[in-house]
Structure 1
Amino acid sequence: MRPTVHDIAAEAGVSLATVDRVLNNRPGVRSVTRNRVERAIATLGYVRDVAAANLAKSRSYPLVFILPSGENAFMRGLESELRFAMSRSAAERLDITILSVPAFDAPALAAALLDARKRRPAGVAVVAVEAPEVTEAVKRLCEDGVSVVTLVSDLPGSGRDHFAGVDNVAAGRTAGSLLGRFLGGREGPVAVLAGSMLVRDHRDRLEGFRAVTSEDFASRQVLPVIEGQDNPLLVEKLVGALLERNPDLAGIYSLGAGNRGLIAALEKAGRAKSVCTIAHELTPHSRAALLSGTIDALLNQNAGHEVRSAIRVLKAKADGLPVIAAQERIRIDIFLKDNLPLEQE
C-alpha cells in the first residue's frame, strides 16, 4: 500500500495538521519539526498525489496562450488544437485564455504579455518574437513567479521555463541534407524563403541549412534570403520574381509559412516539377502539393503535441513538480508523398 499522511504523522509523531502545513509549505512549523516530517516522508517513500490534492481544494490553472493572428495555416492548426484542449478544460481544471497579436509585431506582442501579466495567470505560453521589449516582458513575468513556455519559436536569455518546439537548427540541417541529396549533381542555385528573421525558429533553421550546405554541398550557391512575412500573396509575388530572375534555379527551401503563395508561383511559372522544393508543416495545401509533386518533402512538427506539452509543463511548474524531458521532446517528422498520415490524423 502507498503511504498516507496518517502514516507520516505517526512516523514523525506529529499531528495531521502539522503534516499538512509541511506538505503545503505553510508557516507555523518549527524547523526541527519540519525536518522530522521531511525525514518521515523520505523514509516512507511518500509521493504526493497532486491531482487529488488540487481536486480537493478545487484548484484550477488559469493559463494564457498568445498566438499570432493571420492566415498562417500551422498557427491556425495550433489554435485549433488549443481550442480542443479548452473543450476538455473542465475535466483538467484548466482556465485557458487566448490572446491574438499580429505576426512578427514585437510591440504588440510585448503589450499582450503585459496584458497577460495583469491577469495573474499560473502560466503563459507564447509564440515568441526575438526583440528587446518582448524579452523584457517575459523576464517581468518570470520575476513575478509566472511560468513561461515559448511555443514553436524560442526566446533564449529571457528566463523562460521551457521551449515547446522542435530543434530548429536540426530541422534546417535536415532540409539542407534532403535538398542537396535530391539535387545530386544538377547545377543551379538554391533559394531560401523565410517569414521573418525576427523569429528565432526561422533564424535557427537558416543557420542549420547554411551549415550543411557549406559542409556537404559547398559548390552549391545559396541566394540571399527572401522574407515573405508568412503572407501567401506576398510570397507568391516574391517567388514569381525570383523565378524570373533565376531561370536556372534548382531548388527552394521554404523555412516559414505562406506556402500557398509558393505553390501558386511555381505552378503559374510552369516550374512545379523542375524546382526541387523542401517546405515546413503539413497543412491541406502543402499535403496537396506534396501529392502532386510541387513539393518534394515536408518537415513537420506536431501542433497537438506542442499544445499538450505546454499545458503539462505549465501545470507541473505551478505544482512545483519536475518536467519529464523525454515526454516533452517534440520530434521532427519527415513526410514524402509515400508516407503521409491519413488526413483525419
Structure 2
Amino acid sequence: MRPTVHDIAAAAGVSLATVDRVLNQRPGVRLVTREKVEEAIRQIGYIRDVAAANLAKGRVYPLVFIVPTGDNSFMHGLRSEVHHATLRAGMERTDIRIVEVPAFDVSALVAALDGLQGQDVAGVALVATDAPEVRAAVDRLVSERIPVVTLVSDLTDSTRHHYAGIDNIAAGRTAARLLGRFLGGREGDLTVLAGSMLVRDHRERLQGFSAVMAEEFPKLRLLPVLEGRDDPERTRSLVSKALSENKDIIGIYSLGAGNRGLIAALKAVRPERELTVVVHELTQHTRTALVDGTIDAVLNQDAGHEVRSAIRVMKATADGQAVIADQERIRLDIFLKDNLP
C-alpha cells in the first residue's frame, strides 16, 4: 500500500497536525521535530500528491498571459483561446489575466514582465520578442520562483521553464520542401515574407527554409526578406512592389502573419501572374484563399493546444511537479484545400 500521513506520524512519533505543518512548510514546528518528520518521509518513501492536496485546500493559480496587440489574425485567435480558458477557470482552479503589449515592442514587453514582480502570480506565459532586455526580464521573474512559459516564439538563452510551440526550424524546412516540390524543378526567384526578424520563430523558420532550398532546390533563388510587421497594408505594399519590379518571382513563403495583405497583393496580379504560395496559420482569410486557389498550402499550429499546454506546465511547475513531455508537444499540421478541417 502507498504510505500515508498516518504512517509518517507513527514513524516519527508525532501528531497528524505536526505532519501537516511540515508538509505545508508552516511555522510552529521545532527544528528537531521537523527533521524527525522529514527523515520519516524519506524512510517510508512517502510521495505527496500535490494536486490532490491543492484541490483539498481549494488553491487557485493566478496566471498571466502576455500577448501582442495588432492586426494579426493568429494572435487574435490565440487571445481568444486564452479568453476561453478564463471561462474554464472554476473547473481548472485558475485566475487568468491577459496583459496586452504592442507587437515587437521590446520596451513594452519588458515593462509588462517587470510589473509582475512582487505580485501574487503562479505563472507567466508570453509571446516573446527575442531581445537581451526581454531575456533579462524573464530571468528576473524566474529568480523570484515564478514559472515562465514562452508561447509561439521562444527565448532559448533565458531561464524560462518551458516553450509551448512548434519546432520552427522543422516548419521552415517543411515549407521549403512543399514549395520546391510544387514548383517541380522550375528556375526562378522566391520572395520570403516575415513579420519581424526580431522574433525567434521567424528567424528559425527562415533558417530551416534556406537550408533545404540550398541543399535540394538550387534553381530557386531566395530574395531578401520582406518585413511586413504583421500589418496588412504594409505587407500588401511590399509584396506588390516586389512583384512589379521582378518578373522572375515564381513563389512566395509567408513565414509570419500579414497574410491578408499578401492575399490582396496576389489577387491583384491574378490570373495574369501564376505564383506558388505557402503560408503559416489557418485563419478565416487563409482558409478562403486556400479554397479559391490563391495560396497552395498552410502550415498550422494549434493555438488552443498551446494555451492549454502553457496552463498545465505553469501549474505543474508551481507545484514542483514534472511535465509530461509527450502531452505538451505541439504538432505542425499541413493543410491543402483537400484536407481542411
Q: Normalised by the size of structure 2, how large is the TM-score?
A: 0.94
Question: Aligned runs of 1:1-345 on 2, under 5 Å?
Answer: 3-26=3-26, 28=29, 29-40=33-44, 42=45, 46-270=46-270, 274-341=274-341
* Alignment check: 8 A CA contact 2:8 2:40 kept: no
In 2, distance between residues paired with 1:134 and 1:271? 45
Describe the SS at the equivalent of 1:236: helix
Code of the residue aligned with 1:36 in structure 2: it is A
Q: Which segments of 5 or more consecutive residues in structure 1 lack a partner in the other structure?
A: none
- Per the TM alignment, residue 3 of structure 1 is displaced from its structure 2 partner at its CA by 4.5
Amino acid at match of 2:154: D
Q: Tell me the number of residue pairs that the alignment of Structure 1 and Structure 2 aligns.
A: 337
**Alpha-carbon separation, structure 1, partners of 2:78 and 2:146:** 22
Distance of 2:336 and 2:25 partners within structure 1: 53
**Judging changes above 3 Å, is the alpha-carbon distance between structure 1 residues 103 and 272 closer, same or farther for their aligned structure 2 residues?**
farther
C-alpha distance in structure 1 between counterparts of 2:18 and 2:5, whole Å: 10
- C-alpha distance in structure 2 between counterparts of 1:277 and 1:10, whole Å: 70
> How far apart are residue 35 of structure 1 and its match?
1.4
Stretch of structure 1 that moved more, 13-22 or 187-196: 13-22
> Does structure 2 conserve the Cα–Cα contact (< 8 Å) formed by 1:291 and 1:337?
yes
Distance 1:48 1:37 in 2: 10
Indicate how the Cα distance of structure 1 residues 121 and 246 shifts in structure 2: closer, same or farther if over 3 A, else same: same
Give the conservation status (yes or no) of the 8 Å contact 2:8–2:37.
no
Please state whether the residue corresponding to 2:179 is helix, strand or coil: helix
The CA deviation string for residues 35-81 of structure 1, in whole angstroms up to 9 with x for no partner, is: 122221x1xxx543333321332211111110000111111101111
Q: Which deviates further from its counterpart, 10-19 or 330-339?
A: 10-19
The CA distance in 2 between the partners of 1:271 and 1:193, in whole Å, is 21
AA of the residue aligned to 1:171: A
CA RMSD of aligned residues (A): 1.7
1:30 Cα shift? 4.0
Q: Which runs of 4+ in 1 moved over 4 A?
A: none
Cα deviation digits, residues 167-217 of structure 1 (max 9, x gap): 000100100111111111222111100000000000000000001111111
- For 1:317 and 1:26, the matched residues in 2 are separated by 21
Distance 1:52 1:317 in 2: 15
For residues 254 and 271 of structure 2, the distance between their equivalents in structure 1, rounded to whole angstroms, comes to 15
Compare 326-335 and 267-276 and name the one that shifted more: 267-276
1:92-116: CA deviation from partner (whole Å, max 9, x where unpaired)? 1111111101100111111111122
Residue ranges of structure 2 left out of the alignment (5+ in a row): none
Query: Do 1:273 and 1:293's aligned partners in 2 also have CA atoms closer than 8 Å?
Result: no
User: Aligned partner of 1:318: which letter?
Assistant: A
Local SS of the residue matching 2:213: helix
Deviation at residue 286 of structure 1 after TM alignment = 0.3
Secondary structure of 2:95's match?
strand
**Which stretch has the larger CA shift, 171-180 or 242-251?**
242-251
**Counterparts of 1:38 and 1:22, CA distance in 2:** 13
Among the aligned pairs, what percent are the same residue?
63
1:337 maps to a residue whose letter is K
- Three-state SS of the structure 1 residue aligned to 2:312 is helix
Secondary structure, aligned partner of 1:224: coil
Q: Is the 8 A contact 2:12 2:36 kept in 1?
A: no
Shift in alpha-carbon separation, 1:26–1:118, aligned structure 2, 3 A: closer
Contact 1:301 1:333 in 2 (8 A): yes
- Alpha-carbon spacing, 1:178–1:115, altered in 2? closer, same or farther (3 Å): same
For residues 272 and 198 of structure 1, the distance between their equivalents in structure 2, rounded to whole angstroms, comes to 35
Distance 1:194 1:213 in 2: 17
Q: 1:272 to 1:104 in 2, by over 3 A?
A: farther
- 1:85 is displaced (CA, Å) by 0.6
